[in-house]
């Protein structure tokens, strides 16, 4: 089934077409949701919500980009909006200041850099974190990120650069050679 036929059948509400789209993209959507939330239940909720919205709003798909790109655009919106709404996610975040306090207090003589990195990623602003996770962890291209987030590829590159700079700054206390 080519994309044109798939979209036509999605517009007709055919369950088989919905399942085809789901099978083709669910792994990437769920992985991204899980990376962003760190919570299996939320990742499932966001993934399900994204697909339901795509199936229900398929008439709004204009065909400017591929159906996959549109799906990721919907999914990233669902994830970012959902995370803002779900307060319990907040407790998972580690403020950048806290990372600094831990570093300066010297409570750990041999800090686990990987753990510190994860804390620093948690503390990134959500849009930077989304770009960082999509590019450096999940391997999306800047073009794919741009399509999903509705920005220019240059913006995606700039946000990734800023995200990395922040991470480097956060980790500098544990690895002085990374100091900018």
Partner 1 sequence: MTEDRFERFVRQAGQDYHRPPETPRAEMWAQIEGELAERRKARHPAVVHRLGGRMPSVRWWGLGIAAALLVGIGIGRFLPREPGAAVTIATSDPADGAAGVPATAYRVAATDHLRRVETFLTVFQLEARSGRADEGTIAPAGNLLVTTQLLLDSPASDDVRLRTLLEDVELVLTQIAQYAVGQSPQELEFIDRGMEQRGVLLKLQAAMHAGSAGIQGAL
Q: Which residues bind partner 1 (CB under 8 A)?
A: 15, 19, 22-23, 26-27, 30-31, 34-38, 40, 43-44, 47-49, 51-53, 55-57, 77-78, 81-82, 85, 113-114, 117-118, 121, 132-133, 136-137, 164, 167-168, 175, 177-178
Nearer to partner 1, 37 or 159 (CB): 37
CA distance 106 to 103: 6
Rounded to a whole number of angstroms, the minimum distance from the CB of residue 123 to partner 1 is: 12
Rounded to a whole number of angstroms, the minimum distance from the CB of residue 158 to partner 1 is: 16
DSSP 106-159: T--SS--HHHHHHHHHHTS-HHHHHHHIIIIIT---HHHHHHHHTS-HHHHHHH
Nearer to partner 1, 4 or 115 (CB): 115
Nearer to partner 1, 82 or 147 (CB): 82
Rounded to a whole number of angstroms, the minimum distance from the CB of residue 34 to partner 1 is: 4
Nearer to partner 1, 4 or 20 (CB): 20
Rounded to a whole number of angstroms, the minimum distance from the CB of residue 106 to partner 1 is: 21
Q: With helix as H, strand as E and coil as C, how does 46-58 read?
A: HHHHHHHHHHHCH
CA distance 156 to 124: 15
Give, to the nearest 10 degrees, the angle between helix 153-171 and helix 113-122: 130
Widest distance between CA atoms in the chain: 62
Which of left, alpha, beta for 126 (phi over 0: left; psi -120 to 50: alpha)?
Answer: alpha
Nearer to partner 1, 65 or 77 (CB): 77
Rounded to a whole number of angstroms, the minimum distance from the CB of residue 9 to partner 1 is: 15
């Amino acid at each position: 089934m080519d994309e044109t036929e798939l979209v036509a059948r999605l517009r007709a509400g055919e369950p088989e077409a919905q399942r085809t789209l789901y099978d083709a993209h669910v792994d990437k959507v769920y992985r991204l949701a899980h990376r962003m939330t760190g919570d299996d239940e939320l990742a499932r909720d966001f993934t399900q919500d994204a697909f339901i919205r795509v199936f229900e709003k398929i008439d709004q798909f204009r065909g400017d980009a591929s159906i996959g790109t549109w799906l990721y655009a919907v999914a990233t919106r669902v994830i970012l909006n959902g995370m803002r709404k779900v307060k319990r996610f907040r407790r998972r975040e580690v403020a950048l200041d806290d990372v600094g306090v831990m570093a300066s207090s010297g409570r750990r003589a041999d800090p686990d850099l990987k753990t510190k990195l994860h804390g620093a990623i948690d503390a990134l602003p959500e849009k930077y974190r989304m770009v960082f996770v999509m590019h450096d962890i999940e391997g999306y291209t800047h073009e794919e990120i741009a399509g999903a987030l509705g920005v220019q590829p240059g913006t995606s590159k700039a946000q990734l650069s800023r995200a990395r700079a922040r991470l480097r700054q956060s980790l500098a206390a544990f690895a002085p050679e990374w100091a900018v």
